Copies of this chain bind each other. A is one copy, B any other.
């Protein structure tokens, strides 16, 4: 295992940040992340968990500067399971650390969203 990362995001605080910063959601998330399988915009809780996933990946990579948010993407595998896809800045950093696979889990309840990521 190359590293583990965890992140917690308060959903209400995250939602307020999205409301107060026009364009922030689009800077953080790819179009596929912003909309769920049904095509409707994802709920704030679900976006907060995805933001936590990006932060957890960044921790696995040593929290470097220069990481682009869109380069760490949470995709939905057939069956509904969330999986990570890294590219660009994140893929380059991962390659430099010898990371070849990612494991991810997301959760939210009440006001807490969290993600844990394992890089190996």
Verify B63–A110 contact, CB threshold 8 A: no
Contact segment of A19-27, A66-74, A101-109? A101-109
Residues from chain B with Cβ under 8 Å of A112 in the complex: 8, 10, 112
What's the tally of chain A residues with a CB closer than 8 Å to chain B? 37
Verify A118–B10 contact, CB threshold 8 A: no
Q: Which residue of the partner chain, among B79, B105, B109, contacts A56 with CB atoms under 8 Å?
A: B105
Within 8 A of B (CB), among A83-120: 103-118, 120
| Residue A80 interfacial (CB < 8 Å) | yes
Supposing A81-B62, A105-B56 touch, asked if A110 and B13 sit within 8 A by C-beta, the answer is: yes
Verify A79–B107 contact, CB threshold 8 A: no
Residues from chain B with Cβ under 8 Å of A34 in the complex: none
Supposing A1-B1, A1-B120 touch, asked if A6 and B109 sit within 8 A by C-beta, the answer is: no
| Residue A4 interfacial (CB < 8 Å) | yes
| Residue A7 interfacial (CB < 8 Å) | yes
